[in-house]
């Protein structure tokens, strides 16, 4: 099992993302986007393609846009190919924004991007811990998960989805994660449970196969128990909730 973790131009969560994959049993490498463009064939050596969080191109012209355009011009076909195989793709935070800008998720009509990521309703950057739940999504990334406690850290985390498309997304169960409140009910847009005002409290989307996951929260930052706020009150577990996402990737190939 090999994971390729993308880097370059302001992506910045590659180390911790690779670490999380390695702990659950993957081998892998951080590969600079320019090296991948030079030699796209190396994708064949990998089963998981991960775009970690960060600030590619400083979010200029919209978060994820510039990097998505670079991939679109140079690597798009290879990536589509990858997504059509029995392989996994994950985009976390900035990676999520890149996948959405590429249209790899939800990818219902296989043409231009259908969803946009826009600025948080609060107008400010939000770094805070949230609870999210999985609702009937069949993605291998989310298997056997009900609720996760994870941090978000973004300026543009609001999923903007045209109404008709939202209907098909729901009909196809492509909503990956939704923000919930302290009573474990949907946040219904209420801040800070829903940190960005995302419609239908959407925190993650998948493609139809479920092998591509675009999520705003950071599982790699909730990997160990001591990552979780106030962990001193509960030291019995070794891992945080983010671990489950990486374990699912491992189980998919096991």
Partner 1 sequence: MTNTIQILSIEKTGKESSLQKEHNNNSIKIIDGYFFSRNLDYQKFTKISKLISNDVSQTILTKKNVNKVLSSYCNFNWVVEIKFLPGVTDNIATTVKEIIKDNLKSSFKSFELGSTKIILIKGRKEDITKISKNEANPLIQTIKIYPFKQYLNKFKKNQFKIEKVKLPKKKYSKKEVNLDISDYHLSLIGKLGIEENDKSRRGTLGLDLESLKTIRNYFSTIKRKPTDVEIETLAQTWSEHCKHKIFSAKIDDIQEGIFKKYIKGATEKIIQLRKDNFCVSLFTDNAGGIEFNKDWIICHKVETHNTPSALDPFGGAITGIVGVNRDCLGFGKGAKPIANTYAYYLANPNKKYQLYRKKNKDPMLPANFIAKGIISGVRVGGNCSGIPTPQGNVYFDDRFAGKPLVFCGTVGIIPKKIKGKLSHKKKANPGDIILMTGGRVGKDGIHGATFSSEELDPNSPVSAVQIGDPITQKKMSDVIIRELRDENLYSSITDNGAGGLSSSIGEMAKESGGFIVNLEKVPLKYNGLYPWEIWVSESQERMTLAVPPANVKKVIKRFNARGVEATIIGKFIKKEKAIVKYNKTEILNLDMEFLHEGYPKLNLKTSFPKIKKEKKKIIKYSSLIDKLHKLLSSPNIVSKEFIATQYDHEVQATSIIKPLQGEGRVFGNATAIKPLFDDEKSIALSQAAYPQYAETNPYDMAGCSIDTAYKNLIVSGANSKKIAILDNFCWCSSDEPDRLYQLKEAAKACYDYAVAYQTPFISGKDSMFNDFKGFDKTGKSVKISIPPTLLISSIGVVDKISHLTKITPDDGDILLVLGNTLNELQDSVYYKIIGYEKSKNPVVNSKDALRTYRNFEKANKLEIINSAIGIDLGGIGIAVAKMAIASKKGLTIDLKLKNKISVDQFLFSESQSRILVSIKKNKLTNFKKVFKGSDYTIIGKCTGSDVVEFKDNKKIIRGKISDFAKSYKQNIKGL
Site residues (CB under 8 A) for partner 1?
Answer: 7-10, 12-13, 15-16, 19, 32, 34-35, 53-55, 57-62, 65-66, 69-70, 72-73, 101, 112-116, 118-128, 151, 153, 160, 162, 218, 220-221, 223, 226-227, 229-230, 232-233
Structure tokens at 201: 């409290």
Helix (H, G, I), strand (E, B) or coil at 161: coil
Burial (CB < 10 A; 0-12, 13-18, 19+), residue 84, is exposed
| Closest C-alpha among 69, 141, 87, 77 to residue 110 | 77
* Nearer CB in complex with partner 1: 144/164: 164
Active site residues: 93, 218, 220
Structure tokens at 170: 């729901």
- Residue 86 CB, nearest distance to partner 1 (Å)? 29
- Residue 112 CB, nearest distance to partner 1 (Å)? 6
* Nearer CB in complex with partner 1: 2/74: 74
Alpha helices, DSSP H only, in the chain? Answer: 14-24, 33-38, 65-74, 76-84, 94-102, 163-171, 242-253
Backbone angles phi, psi at 82, to 5 degrees: -55, -45
Q: CB within 8 A of 249, min separation 6: which ones?
A: 3, 21, 24, 26, 48, 88, 90, 140, 141
* Nearer CB in complex with partner 1: 153/211: 153
- Residue 34 CB, nearest distance to partner 1 (Å)? 6
- Residue 251 CB, nearest distance to partner 1 (Å)? 22
* Nearer CB in complex with partner 1: 78/211: 78
* Nearer CB in complex with partner 1: 36/211: 36
Radius of gyration of the chain, Cα coordinates, nearest whole angstrom: 17
* Nearer CB in complex with partner 1: 72/186: 72
Give the whole-angstrom CA distance, residue 153 versus residue 218: 8
- Residue 212 CB, nearest distance to partner 1 (Å)? 18
- Which DSSP string corresponds to 204-230? EEE-SSS-EEEESS-GGGG-BGGGSTT
| Closest C-alpha among 179, 138, 140, 150 to residue 243 | 150
- Residue 163 CB, nearest distance to partner 1 (Å)? 12
């Amino acid at each position: 099992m090999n994971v390729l973790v993308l880097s370059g131009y302001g992506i910045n969560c590659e180390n911790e993302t690779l670490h999380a994959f390695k702990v659950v049993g993957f081998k892998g490498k951080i590969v600079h986007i320019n090296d991948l463009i030079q030699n796209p064939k190396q994708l064949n050596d990998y089963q998981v393609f991960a775009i970690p969080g960060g600030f590619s191109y400083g979010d200029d012209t919209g978060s994820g846009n510039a990097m998505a355009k670079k991939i679109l011009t140079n690597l798009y076909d290879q990536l589509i190919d990858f997504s059509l195989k029995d392989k996994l793709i994950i985009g976390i935070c900035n990676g999520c924004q890149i996948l959405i800008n590429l249209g790899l998720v939800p990818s219902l009509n296989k043409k231009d991007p259908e969803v946009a990521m826009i600025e948080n309703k609060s107008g400010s950057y939000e770094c805070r811990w949230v609870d999210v739940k999985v609702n009937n999504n069949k993605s291998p990334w989310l298997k056997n998960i009900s609720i996760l406690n994870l941090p978000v850290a973004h300026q543009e985390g609001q999923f903007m989805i045209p109404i008709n498309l939202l209907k098909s997304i729901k009909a196809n169960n492509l909503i990956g994660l939704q923000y919930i409140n302290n009573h474990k009910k949907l946040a219904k847009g209420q801040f800070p449970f829903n940190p960005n005002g995302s419609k239908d409290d959407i925190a993650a989307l998948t493609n139809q196969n479920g092998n591509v996951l675009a999520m705003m929260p950071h599982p790699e930052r909730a990997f160990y128990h001591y990552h979780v706020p106030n962990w001193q009150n509960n030291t019995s577990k070794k891992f945080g909730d983010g671990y489950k996402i990486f374990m699912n990737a491992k189980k998919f190939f096991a």
